[in-house]
Structure 1
Amino acid sequence: MFKHQDALETLNKDIPLGEKLRFIHAFLHQQFDFIDRIAIALYDEKTDLLKTYVHSSGLDIPLQHYQSTLAEAPSLQEIIRLGRPRVVNDMSFLAGSSKVHSQRIGAQGYGSSYTLPMYSNGCFFGFLFFNSYRSDVFSESALHYIDLYGHLLELIVINELAEVRALVASIKTATNMALQRDFETGYHLERMSNYARLIARDLADKYGLTDDIVEHIFLFAPLHDIGKIGIPDHILLKPGKLSAEEYEIMQKHVGKGVEIIDAMVANFGLQEVKHIDILRNVAHYHHEAINGSGYPQGLKGEEIPPEARIVAVADVFDALTSRRSYKDAWSNDAAFALLLELSDSKFDRDCVQTLIARREEVEQIQARFREETIS
Structure 2
Amino acid sequence: MFHHQDSLEALNRHLPLKQKIVSAHRVIKDKFNFIARIAITLYDPESRIIKTYVDSSGCDQPLKHYETSLDKAGSLKAILDRERPRVVNNLVTFDNNEHEHTRRIGHQGYAASYTMPMFHSGSFFGFLFFNSYQPDVFDEKTLKDLDVFGHLISLIVINELSTLSVMDAAIKTTSDITHLRDPETGSHLDRMSRYSRLIAQSLADKYELNDEYIEHVFMFSPLHDIGKIAIPDTILLKPGPLDEKERAMMNTHTTIGRSMIDSIVANFKLDGIEQIAVLKNIAEFHHEAINGSGYPSGKKNSEIPLEARIVAVADVFDALTSCRPYKDAWSNDKAFDLLKRLAGEKLDSDCVNALIENKAEVEQIQSQFQEDIFG
CA distance in 2, matches of 1:319, 1:239: 15
Cα deviation digits, residues 126-152 of structure 1 (max 9, x gap): 000000000000111111111111100
Cα deviation digits, residues 214-237 of structure 1 (max 9, x gap): 000000000000011111111111
Instruction: State the match for 1:162 in structure 2.
Output: 162
CA distance in 1, matches of 2:30, 2:9: 16
Cα deviation digits, residues 237-290 of structure 1 (max 9, x gap): 111111111111111110000111111112222222221100000001101111
Structure 1 counterpart of 2:105, which letter? I
Structure 1: runs of 5+ lacking an equivalent: none
Deviation, structure 1 residue 319: 0.6
3-state DSSP class of the match of 2:196? helix
Instruction: State the match for 1:66 in structure 2.
Output: 66
Paired residues for 1:192-341 under 5 Å: 192-341=192-341
3-state DSSP class of the match of 1:52? strand
Paired residues for 1:3-152 under 5 Å: 3-152=3-152
Instruction: State the match for 1:356 in structure 2.
Output: 356
CA distance in 2, matches of 1:2, 1:24: 22
Deviation, structure 1 residue 374: 2.2
Instruction: State the match for 2:368 in structure 1.
Output: 368
CA distance in 1, matches of 2:304, 2:178: 27
Structure 1 counterpart of 2:3, which letter? K
Paired residues for 1:163-178 under 5 Å: 163-178=163-178
Q: Please say if residues 325 and 374 of structure 1, whose CA atoms lie closer than 8 Å, have aligned partners that are also in contact.
A: no
Q: Please say if residues 182 and 236 of structure 2, whose CA atoms lie closer than 8 Å, have aligned partners that are also in contact.
A: no
Cα deviation digits, residues 59-90 of structure 1 (max 9, x gap): 01111001000011111111111111000000
CA distance in 1, matches of 2:208, 2:305: 12
Deviation, structure 1 residue 208: 2.0
Deviation, structure 1 residue 367: 1.2
Cα deviation digits, residues 41-65 of structure 1 (max 9, x gap): 0000100110000111210111100
Deviation, structure 1 residue 97: 2.1
Instruction: State the match for 1:187 in structure 2.
Output: 187
3-state DSSP class of the match of 1:96? coil
Q: Please say if residues 196 and 314 of structure 2, whose CA atoms lie closer than 8 Å, have aligned partners that are also in contact.
A: yes
Q: Please say if residues 112 and 133 of structure 1, whose CA atoms lie closer than 8 Å, have aligned partners that are also in contact.
A: yes
CA distance in 1, matches of 2:134, 2:5: 33
Q: Please say if residues 324 and 374 of structure 1, whose CA atoms lie closer than 8 Å, have aligned partners that are also in contact.
A: no
How many residue pairs match? The answer is 375
Q: Which moved more, 1:332-341 or 1:166-175?
A: 166-175
RMSD: 1.1
Deviation, structure 1 residue 94: 3.0
Structure 2 counterpart of 1:5, which letter? Q
Give percent identity, aligned residues only.
56
